[in-house]
Amino acid sequence: MENTIDTKKLILSKEDFGSDQMVKWCPGCGDHAILKSIENVFPEMGIPKEDFVVVSGIGCSSRFPYYMNTYGFHGIHGRAAALATGVKLSNPKLSVWMISGDGDSMAIGGNHFIHIARRNLDINYLMFNNKIYGLTKGQYSPTTPKGSKTKTSPQGTFETPFNPGELVIGARGKFFARVVDTNLKLMTQVFRQAAEHKGTSIIEILANCVIFNNQVHALITGRETKDDSQIVLEAGKPMIFGADRDKGIVLRGTKLVAVEIGKDGITEADLLVHDPSDPDPGIHLMLANMTPPELPAALGVIRSVAAETLEEAMYASIEREKKASKIKCVDDLLTSGGTWTID
């Protein structure tokens, strides 16, 4: 049956999505800001409350379904993507939001992570990246910086960390964005854009774990360093950053380079203009890989490319097969082929 609710007449508020459960994240944890942002976004989507589903795996981030007054599913470690896929394919009208952490997504859930990116299912995937296992008390994760001393790497980890954006784009993902937990306005804006995108929208959220990895993103989020260490990308606008808006990004050969506007003849016209909709992933991949202090970390929507979703392809295939088949009902099936009568 089609949904006959006139969504334009829906009037919902953030209070409608607030849970009666006690939020058990540590005081100062970046997850609190993410929750607040989602509570701001959901009422604006024009979707009936009963059509929201929040799915998670295991970890601090994955407590999220308890803190939202929606339908939800708290799954097992690394398997939230499989659950979200089943929910969306069985009922495509649902707005499915998957919540995961850097360990849940890219360690035990790594296989599911790359495949949900390439399949382009229409869900919104929030990946909280604090570069540590917080719930299990401080083991290194797939995004922990090389050399970091943790509970499981007392001499410093020897492993090269994943860059989530590089992994998403390499898996042929169509939407990747990055935000920081200290910028609620940008986070809310990007969540809205993710909700509007048809396909798998993966948002990496640089979140701070105040207990086991405090200030891991300090260079990007710190009050004194953030202006020169982050750039907020906007579609159709030149890539400008800096406290005085006097720095920018240019392409020289096959590399992105930070330059000063007004120096060596550089003008705003020389800067790269952001185009997240370009199907070619080359520039998007370079943007996702930028890291301070050499280059600012790219925030905002880095890649947003229109493409057929998995559920669209699946249901179109079902309709084609139904039209082509001579069997339209159970009676047709029972009387097809060789039949006989028993006296």
The tokens describing 224, both together, are: 């004194």
Q: Which amino acid is at 68?
A: M
Question: For position 10, what pLDDT does the model report?
Answer: 74
pLDDT at 227 over 60: yes
b/e map of 148-178 (b: 16 or more CB within 10 Å)? Answer: bebeebeeebeeebbbbbebbbebebbbbbb
Q: Rounded mean pLDDT of the chain?
A: 94
Q: In angstroms, rounded to a whole number, what is the distance separating the alpha carbons of residues 10 and 7? A: 5
Token representation of residue 262: 């007004």
pLDDT of 41: 96
pLDDT at 338 over 90: no
- List the structure tokens of 116: 């949900």
**161-204 confidence digits (pLDDT tens):** 999 999 999 999 999 999 999 999 999 999 999 999 999 999 99
CATH number for the domain running over 7-234+280-320: 3.40.50.970
- Taking only the tens place, the pLDDT of each residue in 23-68 is 999 999 999 999 999 999 999 999 999 999 999 999 999 999 999 9
| Cα angle 232-179-192, degrees, rounded to a multiple of 5 | 95
Sheet strand arrangement including 247-252: 240-241, 247-252, 255-260
Distances (CA, A) of 256 to 179, 275, 284, 287, 296: 20, 15, 11, 8, 11
Please report which confidence band the pLDDT of residue 151 belongs to, taking 50, 70 and 90 as the band edges: very high
Maximal CA-CA distance, the chain: 98
pTM for the whole structure: 0.92
* pLDDT over 70 (residue 1): no
Give the pLDDT confidence score for residue 2 in this predicted structure.
Answer: 47
Say which residue, 8 or 333, is predicted with more confidence.
333
Write the CA distances from 42 to 54, 70, 86, 191, 242, integer angstroms.
11, 10, 22, 9, 32
Confidence of residue 341 (pLDDT cuts 50, 70, 90): confident
> Which residue matches tokens 């009422």?
43
Packing angle of the helix pair 80-90, 310-324 (nearest 10 deg): 40
φ, ψ (nearest 5 deg) of residue 158 = -95, -5
Length of the chain (residues): 343
Nearest in space to 78 (alpha carbons), one of 100, 94, 48: 100
**Predicted pLDDT at 12:** 92
Number of H helices, E strands in the chain: 11, 11
Alpha helices in 101-247 (DSSP H): 102-106, 110-119, 164-170, 184-196, 218-221, 226-229
Q: Which two tokens stand for residue 150?
A: 């943790």
Starting at the edge strand found earlier in the chain, the sheet holding 52-56 runs 71-74, 52-56, 95-101, 124-129, 201-206, 175-180, 297-304, 230-232
Alpha carbon 124 to its chain centroid, in Å, reads 6
pLDDT at 109 over 90: yes
Bond prior to 293 in cis (omega within 30° of 0):
yes
In this prediction, residue 339 carries a pLDDT of 78
Report yes or no: 165 and 291 within 8 Å, Cβ to Cβ. no
Q: Which tokens is 25 given?
A: 């994240």
pLDDT band at 6 (very low <50, low <70, confident <90, very high): low
Which structure tokens are listed for 152? 């499981």
Domain with CATH 3.40.50.970 in the chain: 7-234+280-320
Look at the block and give the residue holding tokens 């998403």: 168
Percent pLDDT > 70 in the chain is 97
The residue with tokens 């948002």 is 203
Q: Does the pLDDT value for residue 7 go beyond 80? A: no
pLDDT digit string, tens, across residues 268-313: 999 999 999 999 999 999 999 999 999 999 999 999 999 999 999 9
pLDDT at 5: 47
Q: Name the token pair of 38.
A: 């989602």
Report whether 84 contacts 62 (CB < 8 A). no
